[in-house]
Amino acid sequence: MENLRNHVDIKIVNSNKTNKIRKLVASPLFSRYAIFTNDMAGIDMQKSKLLLNKPVFVGMTILDNRRILMYDYYYNVLKKIWLKVRALVHRHRQPSA
């Protein structure tokens, strides 16, 4: 699932714009920087506005329901079959007296 909170803004700045660099680095949205060349750097910023338009809760509900169905199938169907097969195999493996 896509996590919208992990999206970032990358500002590319020249080294001659020191005021802009200082302003971006002092911002609470600043996360890190990367120097590309001697004259150019990239500054990673967190998003200032976050639009949650993806239904994350629906995805989690689907995963939870799938887990419940798998547990139900295992314990109510497969385990009963496995117990019958195991009893049948166990009965045939016992030496007859």
Whether residues 97 and 64 share a domain: the answer is yes
Domain that holds residue 38: 4-46
Number of domains comprising the chain? 2
Non-local (6+) Cβ contacts of 41 within 8 A are 12, 13, 15, 21, 33, 34, 35
Looking at per-residue pLDDT, the higher value among 52 and 65 belongs to 65
Identify whether residues 76 and 97 lie together within a single domain.
Answer: yes
Residues 40 and 9 occupy one common structural domain:
yes
Provide the mean pLDDT of the chain: 86
Same domain assignment for residues 16 and 33: yes
* 40, 8: one domain: yes
In the prediction, which pLDDT does 36 show?
92
What share of residues in the chain are helix, strand, coil (percent, to 5)? 50, 20, 30
pLDDT at 97 over 60: no
Q: Are residues 41 and 11 in the same domain?
A: yes
Residue-level pLDDT at 56: 65
Report the pLDDT value the prediction gives residue 72, as an integer from 0 to 100.
93
Give the model's confidence band at 18: pLDDT under 50 very low, under 70 low, under 90 confident, else very high.
Answer: confident
H-state helical runs in 1-93: 18-26, 56-73, 79-93
Lowest mean pLDDT among 1-5, 55-59, 76-80: 55-59
What is the per-residue pLDDT across 55-69, written as a single tens digit (0 to 9) for each? 767 777 888 999 999
Q: How far apart are CA 43 and CA 35, in angstroms?
A: 9
Cα 15 from Cα 40, distance rounded (Å)? 6
- Residue 51 — very low, low, confident or very high, per pLDDT cuts 50/70/90? confident
Residues 38 and 74 in one domain: no
